[in-house]
C-alpha cells in the first residue's frame, strides 16, 4: 500500500517517547531508592561485624589489666584495627592511630574505611574509649550495583517491547482505516478510467463528426468536466504508483512546458472569467521526469483555478532560480498552511477534490531536492513558489 | 675547689633522696600490712582512666584520708581502715602520686605486635 499515515505515526512516536521517558524516570527513581536501601543494609551488616569483633577485645583488656607479667602483648583482633583512648580522649595505645575520631557518632565512614567507637567500662588499663576500623568490603556493593544496572536494562527493554506492542495495538484501527481508504481510492480510480476515457474519446469523435457542435457550449462543458475527471484519475494513479514508477530523467525545456500547460489551463480559467497571466521571461532547462514536471505545474495551476473566484487573476512566473503560481483566490489561514502539503488535507471543503494536489507537488519538490515556499493570506490569495538551485 | 665539690655531691644526694622519699614512705606500710601499691594503682586506673584524674584522686585522699575518698572496694576498706591512713602535705602527696603512676603504669609495658 502506498498510502501511509505519517501524522498518526508521529503522534504515536511522541506518545511512546513520553511513555518511555516517564517510565525511565519512574524505574530509575525506584531503583535508586532500592539501591540506597540495600547499600545501607550492606554497610549496616559490615558495621555489625565490626561491632562484634570489637566486643571481643574487652575480656582481653581485662586479662591485661590483671596480668603481673613484666611484658604484655597488645590484643589483636583478626580483620580490624583498634586504638584505645582514656576518659579525657588522650590516645593510649593501639595497632593504629586514626587521624580523626568522631566522638559524637558511634559509626562513621572515611576513605573506604568503616569506623566504630565504643565507651568501655570499667576502664581496664585506663581505656575508656575504643576506636575500631575495618576496610569497607566493596564487593557486595559492586554486585548490587551490577544487578541494579542489569535490572534497569531488562526493565527498560521490557517497557520498550510493551510500548511497541501497545503502539501496534493502538495503530491497528488507524491502519485499517487507511487501508480501506487506500483500497477505495484504488478501486475508484480503476472504475473511473474506462468511463472517463470513453467520454473524452467520444467527445473528440463527436466534434470531428459533427462540426456544427464544435462550438457548442454544452459539449465544451462535457469536455472540461471529463478533462477534470481525467486529471483526477491521473493524480490518483500517480499517487498510487509513485514509489513503484520508474522515472525517466531527461532535459526538459521547463519554460515551454510551463507555457503549454498554462495554455491548457487557460480554457478552464476562461470559464470562470479568470485572467491567467504568463510572466515567463527566460528559458530554463531542467533535468527531470516529464510526468513529474507536468504533475507539478498542473496541480499548482489546477489549484489556483479551483480556488480563485469568478473574475480573479492568476500569475505564472518563471524567473531565475524559481517558478511560482500566484492567485487572487480565497487563500488560507496560518493553521491550514501548516498542513496544506499533507495527503487528503483540504483547507476549503466547499470545492471538490481529494486534497492530494499539493501533496503531489510536495513529493515531487522533495524528490528533486528543491524547496517549496507557500505564502497565503485568507481572502487575499496564495503564492506557491518552487525554488531550485541554478 | 674541694668545698664546691662537696656541696654539689650533697645537693645531688638530697635531690635523689627527695625523689625516693615519697614512694618509699608509702612502701613502708604498703609492702607489708596495707594493700600493695601496684594493686592500688590498678584500682585507680580502672576507676578513673586518665593519669590526671588518678593523680587528683590520690592527692585528695592522701591530703585528708577518709572512708569516702578511698577508691578501694568496700571489703578492703573495712579491712584496712583508710581513716587510719596518715595524712600528707599536698606537695608530698603530689610527689607520691606522680612516682606511683610512673612506676606502675601498664601501658609502657604493652608491646604492639607488628603486622
| B chain contacts of residue A122, beta-carbon cutoff 8 Å | 46-47
Task: Mark yes or no for CB contact A125/B47 under 8 Å.
Answer: no
Kindly list the residues from chain B whose CB atom is less than 8 angstroms away from the CB atom of residue A82: none
Could you read off the pLDDT of B92-103 as tens digits, one per residue? 999 999 999 999
Q: Answer yes or no: is A111 within a domain.
A: yes
Sheet with A113-119, edge to edge strand ranges: A91-94, A81-85, A129-135, A113-119, A107-110
* Candidate from A113-127, A184-198, A232-246 with smallest mean pLDDT: A232-246
Residues A375 and A254 in one domain: yes
Structure confidence at residue B21 as a pLDDT band (50, 70, 90): low
Mutation for testing the B interface, residue in A75, A82, A125, A127 having most B CBs under 10 Å: A125
B106·A95 Cβ contact <8 A? no
Residues in chain B closer than 8 A to A72 (CB atoms): 106, 109-111
What contacts 24+ positions apart, CB below 8 Å, involve A277-282?
A: A277/A313, A277/A314, A277/A315, A277/A316, A278/A316, A279/A315, A279/A316, A279/A317, A279/A318, A279/A319, A280/A255, A280/A316, A280/A317, A280/A318, A281/A318, A281/A319, A282/A255, A282/A318, A282/A319, A282/A320
Minimal CA separation from B14 to chain A, in Å? 31
Question: Per-residue confidence at B10, pLDDT binned at 50, 70, 90?
Answer: very low
Compute φ and ψ for A210, nearest 5 degrees.
-120, 95
Q: Measure CB to CB from residue B46 to each of A70, A93, A122 and give the nearest one.
A: A122
Contact across the interface for B113 and A73, Cβ inside 8 Å = yes
Last residue within a domain, chosen from A109, A141, A173: A141
Q: What pLDDT, in 10s, does the model give residues B25-67? A: 888 888 888 888 999 999 999 999 999 999 999 999 999 998 8
Mutate to test the interface with A, among B50, B73, B113, B114 (most CBs of A within 10 A): B50
- Residue B13 banded pLDDT, cuts 50, 70, 90: very low
Q: Is residue B3 part of a domain?
A: no
Q: What is the CATH number for A320? A: 3.30.565.10
CB contact B108 to A (< 8 Å): no
pLDDT at A327 over 80: yes
Q: How many domains does chain A have?
A: 2
Q: A88 at the B interface (CB within 8 A)?
A: yes
For residue B54, give its domain range.
Answer: 21-105
Contacts of A74 in chain B (CB under 8 A): 110-113
DSSP symbols for A35-102: HHHHHHHHHHHHHHHHHHHHHTHHHHHHHHHH---SSEE----TT-EEEEE-TT--EEEES---S---
Percent of all residues in chain B with a pLDDT value above 90, rounded to a whole number: 44
Mean pLDDT of A173-177: 83
Looking at the domain assignment, is residue B32 inside a domain? yes
**pLDDT tops 50 at residue B17:** no
What residue in A sits closest to B45 (Cα-Cα)?
Answer: A126
Q: What's residue A116's pLDDT?
A: 97
In the block, which residue shows the cell 574487652? A58
Cα distance between residue A288 and residue A368, in whole Å: 8
Whether residue B95 lies inside any domain: the answer is yes
Collapsing DSSP to helix, strand or coil, A335 comes out as helix
Choose the final residue of a domain: A141, A167, A196: A141
Nearest in space to A233 (alpha carbons), one of A295, A293, A179: A295
Contacts of A61 (CB under 8 A, 6+ apart): A75, A84, A120, A124, A125, A127
A221-234: buried (b, 16+ CB within 10 Å) or exposed (e) per residue? ebbeebbbbbbbbb
Tell me which of A141, A176, A203 is where a domain ends: A141
In A122-157, which positions are buried (b, 16+ CB within 10 angstroms) versus exposed (e)?
A: ebbbbbbbbbbbbeebeeebeebeeebeeebeebee
For residues A157 and A225, the model is more confident at: A157
What does the pLDDT read at residue B11? 46
Percent of chain A topping pLDDT 90:
45
Q: Is the pLDDT of residue A110 over 80?
A: yes
Cis peptide upstream of residue A122 (ω within 30 degrees of 0): yes
What residues form DSSP beta bridges with A109?
Answer: A114
pLDDT at A24 over 50: yes
Question: N- to C-terminal Cα distance for chain B?
Answer: 58
C-alpha distances (whole Å) from A310 to each of A248, A348, A381 are: 38, 16, 13
pLDDT digits (tens, 9 = 90+) for A48-86: 999 999 999 999 999 999 998 888 999 999 999 999 999
What is the per-residue pLDDT for A220? 79
Residues with Cβ within 8 Å of A36's Cβ and at least 6 positions away in sequence, in order, are none
Does the structure's ipTM exceed the value 0.95?
Answer: no
Q: Choose among B45, B47, B52: nearest Cβ to A125.
A: B45
Q: Which one is predicted more confidently, A262 or A211?
A: A262
Domain count, chain B: 1
Q: What is the mean pLDDT of chain A?
A: 87
Residue B8 lies in a domain: no
Sign of the Cα torsion A46, A50, A51, A52 reads positive
What domain range includes position A352? Answer: 248-387
What pLDDT score does A215 carry? 77
Residue A136 shares a structural domain with residue A252? no
> From its phi and psi, is residue A369 left (phi > 0), alpha (psi between -120 and 50) or beta?
left
Residue B12 falls inside a structural domain: no
Predicted confidence at residue A284, as pLDDT, reads: 87
Contact A125 B50 (CB under 8 A): no
Backbone φ and ψ of B36, nearest 5°: -60, 150
pLDDT value, residue A5: 61
Name residue A374's beta-bridge partners.
A384
Q: Is the pLDDT of residue A3 over 60?
A: no
pLDDT at residue B19, rounded to an integer: 46
Backbone phi, then psi, for A317, in 5-degree steps?
A: -120, 140
> In the structure, what pLDDT confidence band is assigned to residue B80 with cuts at 50, 70 and 90?
confident
Is the minimum CB–CB distance between A66 and chain B shorter than 8 Å?
Answer: yes
Amino acid at each position: 500500500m502506498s498510502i501511509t499515515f505519517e501524522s498518526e505515526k508521529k503522534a504515536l512516536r511522541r506518545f511512546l517517547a513520553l511513555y518511555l521517558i516517564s517510565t525511565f524516570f519512574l524505574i530509575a527513581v525506584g531503583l535508586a531508592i532500592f539501591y540506597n536501601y540495600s547499600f545501607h543494609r550492606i554497610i549496616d551488616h559490615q558495621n555489625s561485624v565490626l561491632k562484634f569483633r570489637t566486643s571481643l577485645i574487652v575480656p582481653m583488656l581485662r586479662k591485661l589489666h590483671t596480668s603481673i607479667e613484666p611484658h604484655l602483648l597488645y590484643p589483636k583482633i583478626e580483620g580490624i584495627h583498634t586504638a584505645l583512648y582514656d576518659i579525657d580522649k588522650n590516645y593510649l595505645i593501639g595497632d593504629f592511630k586514626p587521624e580523626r575520631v568522631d566522638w559524637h557518632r558511634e559509626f562513621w565512614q572515611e576513605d573506604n574505611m568503616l569506623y566504630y567507637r565504643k565507651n568501655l567500662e570499667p576502664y581496664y588499663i585506663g581505656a575508656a574509649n575504643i576506636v575500631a576500623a575495618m576496610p569497607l568490603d566493596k564487593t557486595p556493593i559492586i554486585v548490587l550495583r551490577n544487578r541494579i544496572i542489569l535490572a534497569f536494562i531488562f526493565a527498560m527493554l521490557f517497557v520498550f517491547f510493551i510500548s511497541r506492542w501497545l503502539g501496534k495495538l493502538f495503530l491497528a484501527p488507524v491502519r485499517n482505516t487507511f487501508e480501506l481508504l487506500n483500497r477505495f481510492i484504488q478501486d475508484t480510480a480503476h472504475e473511473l478510467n474506462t468511463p472517463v476515457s470513453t467520454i473524452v474519446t467520444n467527445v473528440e469523435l463527436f466534434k470531428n463528426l459533427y462540426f456544427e457542435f464544435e462550438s457548442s457550449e454544452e459539449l465544451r462543458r462535457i469536455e472540461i468536466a471529463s478533462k477534470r475527471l481525467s486529471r483526477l484519475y491521473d493524480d490518483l494513479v500517480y499517487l498510487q504508483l509513485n514509489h513503484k514508477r520508474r522515472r525517466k530523467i531527461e532535459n526538459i525545456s521547463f519554460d515551454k512546458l510551463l507555457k503549454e500547460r498554462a495554455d491548457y489551463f487557460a480554457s478552464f480559467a476562461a470559464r470562470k472569467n479568470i485572467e491567467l497571466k504568463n510572466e515567463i521571461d527566460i528559458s530554463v532547462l531542467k533535468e527531470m521526469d516529464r510526468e513529474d514536471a507536468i504533475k507539478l505545474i498542473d496541480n499548482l495551476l489546477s489549484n489556483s483555478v479551483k480556488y480563485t473566484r469568478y473574475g480573479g487573476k492568476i500569475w505564472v512566473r518563471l524567473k531565475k532560480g524559481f517558478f511560482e503560481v500566484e492567485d487572487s483566490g480565497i487563500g488560507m489561514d496560518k493553521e491550514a498552511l501548516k498542513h496544506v502539503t499533507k495527503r487528503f488535507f483540504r483547507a476549503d471543503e466547499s470545492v471538490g477534490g481529494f486534497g492530494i494536489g499539493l501533496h503531489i507537488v510536495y513529493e515531487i519538490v522533495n524528490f528533486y531536492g528543491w524547496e517549496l515556499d507557500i505564502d497565503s493570506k485568507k481572502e487575499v490569495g496564495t503564492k506557491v513558489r518552487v525554488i531550485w538551485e541554478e | 675547689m674541694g668545698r664546691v665539690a662537696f656541696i654539689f655531691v650533697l645537693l645531688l644526694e638530697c635531690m635523689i633522696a627527695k625523689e625516693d622519699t615519697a614512694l618509699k614512705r608509702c612502701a613502708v606500710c604498703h609492702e607489708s600490712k596495707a594493700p600493695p601499691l601496684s594493686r592500688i594503682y590498678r584500682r585507680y586506673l580502672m576507676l578513673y582512666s586518665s593519669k590526671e584524674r588518678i593523680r587528683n584522686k590520690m592527692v585528695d585522699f592522701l591530703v585528708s584520708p577518709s572512708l569516702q575518698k578511698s577508691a578501694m572496694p568496700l571489703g578492703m576498706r573495712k579491712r584496712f581502715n583508710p581513716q587510719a591512713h596518715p595524712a600528707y602535705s599536698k606537695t608530698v602527696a603530689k610527689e607520691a602520686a606522680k612516682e606511683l603512676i610512673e612506676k606502675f603504669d601498664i601501658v609502657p609495658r604493652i608491646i604492639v605486635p607488628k603486622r
